[in-house]
Chains A and B, each alone.
Chain A
Amino acid sequence: MAQSLKDPVELFDRPPERLYRSPGMTETLLKTPLYDIHVEMGARMVEFAGWLMPVQFAGIVEEHNHTRTACSVFDVSHMGRLRIMGDGVEEFLNRIYTRNLTGAEPGRSFYSHICREDGGILDDVIVSRFAGHWGIVCNASNRAKIIAWLQNHAAGKNINIVDETLATAMIACQGPRTLELAKELTGNDLSGLKRYHFTVRDIGPLQAVTYRSGYTGEDGLEVVLPAVLVKALIPRLFGTKESPHPVIKPAGLGARDTLRMEAAMPLYGHELTEDVDSLTAGQAWCVDLSKDFIGADSLRRLNERGLARKLVGLELEGRRIARQHFGVFRDGRAVGQVTSGTLSPTLGKSIAMAFVSAECSAEGTELHVEISGKQVPAKVVKLPFYKRPR
């Protein structure tokens, strides 16, 4: 293998949107306001929930590590952004959400689930209390479903639901240096903004909303801004291909997924689905069983009966990755299924989340995950896998 590569043939770069076209995909894909910037920055674009999104720029592991140590910018404009207003809107939302929103002060955000009557999870969302309305950020894949759900339940009420997804962009700036860099760039010191709080800034007749939140396990900010301002703002954030910002770098959905897995944050379609309830998914903290909401009765009954299965963290031997739907075994008996897994870039270990029978969920339980026909030893460990140093 020592010889040189004789007369190599050049593989021309293809337009990014031709990559990763899933079979049978015919619908027109949506582009976020950052699309042209991603392409210019050399992103690899993929289809995700009907959108063309960057899966990676420099590489998933590099972007992952950069987020843990410095600051990355993620385009999360594909997520649904809804504005809810009208008479009795707090009462209306309190009936929809598992979280108790009573008396919430303007400037506060809440992570919450929306459930069906039987407790199945329709979506996990961030709901925010503005002075004159409420805001919802929902999953891209669930946007149409959630709008329909809200509209159905608002029937006969004087409640207005406005979809602002396409008129706005949303970016997540994540990493330990985010606040320091935000101050350097904008002059705004946001260190006093508490987690799950937000601040609204007027830009002429338009508004930008900055939240202290994220989906990476790091400190950070999430900003919703009018789509028309994106092209002016983004080059100021991470520069251009020719003169990139030395610290702030773009990152894609690939790193976002490995980061959220280390932080054990659930992902809709993996840990959360309509076939799972919030308690089984280990998210009881965002459910107020003492209030009345859609799904409350089912969840209260389940809580009294006890959980048949639980979401656990697994640490596997070796470097192989346990992927969604891989079987989990105890002494050769099937006891569960993997929901997500990766080779943790921060820990250097193969990690996974899985639903297993409750009797197999205690920390330290020795299990196996079947990977390519082989039983790979795995141990139940405490979640999250990674906690940022404070």
Chain B
Amino acid sequence: MKVPSDRKYSETHEWSLLDENVVTMGITQYAADELTDITYVDLPEVGSKVNVGDAVGEVESVKATSEIFSAVSGTVVAVNTALSDHPELVNDDAFEEGWMIKIKTEAVDPLKALMGAKEYASFVRNLG
């Protein structure tokens, strides 16, 4: 299992990728694998305002339901509409095709508090 080093990670297994002032978020492949077959992804409305730590969506699998927490404060500018018909994209490709939300943020260095790839990988290894 790979953890791409071009982005940052939260302890709740979301990844966040900063491009200019837009942060793209999804869940990690580790989280997708743990959830097993994902059957439904609930995402916020485009235009809604979110704060760091807000539950902005839900991921459901045959086994469990888990919430997605925003890593940044800002405005939702896009959601991955492909996931409504094909939630399995998250299992197939959590870091690319399975992206979930784009949030426009005014914050300076908005991902500062998050973990890097190495840190996240060792965080996961030490779970349990």
- Name A residues whose Cβ lies closer than 8 Å to a Cβ of B: 1, 3, 5-14, 18-21, 55-56, 59-61, 254, 258, 318-321, 323, 342-343, 372
Contacts and interface: CB of A to CB of B under 8 A. Distances in A.
Contacts of B2: 5, 8-11
A63 to B, nearest CB: 10
Contacts of A321: 39-40, 60, 62, 65
Main SS of chain B's interface residues?
A: mixed
B23 to A, nearest CB: 12
A343 B40 CA distance: 9
Given A9-B3, A60-B62, A319-B87, A21 B37 contact: no
A8 B30 contact: no
Interface in B2-29: 2-6, 17, 24
A10 B118 CA distance: 8
B124 interface: yes
Given A9-B121, A11-B30, A1 B3 contact: no
B116 to A, nearest CB: 9
A10 B99 CA distance: 20
A11 B124 contact: yes
A105 to B, nearest CB: 40
A60 B121 contact: no
B123 to A, nearest CB: 10
A80 B75 CA distance: 55
Given A10-B121, A60-B36, A3 B62 contact: no
Interface in B101-128: 117-118, 120-121, 124-125, 127-128
A252 to B, nearest CB: 10
A5 B28 CA distance: 13
B102 to A, nearest CB: 9
Contact of B39 (A12, A55, A343, A372): A343
B27 to A, nearest CB: 14
Nearest to A61: B37
A6 B6 CA distance: 6
A79 B1 CA distance: 34
B128 A14 contact: yes
Nearest to A59: B37
A46 to B, nearest CB: 10
B62 A14 contact: no
Nearest to A14: B125
Interface of B: 1-6, 17, 24, 30, 34, 36-37, 39-40, 42, 58, 60, 62-63, 65, 87, 95-96, 99, 117-118, 120-121, 124-125, 127-128
18 contacts: A1-B96, A1-B99, A8-B2, A9-B5, A10-B1, A10-B3, A11-B3, A12-B121, A20-B128, A56-B36, A59-B37, A60-B37, A319-B39, A319-B87, A320-B42, A320-B60, A342-B62, A343-B40
Contacts of A372: 42, 58, 65
A337 to B, nearest CB: 17
Contacts of A3: 6
B35 to A, nearest CB: 11
Nearest to A2: B96
Contacts of A55: 36, 63
A8 B40 contact: no
Given A8-B3, A59-B36, 5 more contacts: A11-B3, A20-B128, A320-B40, A321-B62, A343-B39
A3 B36 CA distance: 26
A343 B62 contact: yes
Contacts of B42: 320, 372
Given A3-B6, A372-B58, A8 B117 contact: yes
A61 B62 contact: yes
A3 B87 CA distance: 22
B117 A9 contact: yes
A1 B26 CA distance: 11
Of the candidates B6, B17, B24, the one having the most CB atoms from chain A within 10 angstroms of its own CB is B6
A114 to B, nearest CB: 29
Nearest to A258: B62
Of the candidates A11, A19, A61, the one having the most CB atoms from chain B within 10 angstroms of its own CB is A11
A18 B128 contact: yes
Contacts of A9: 2-5, 117-118, 120-121
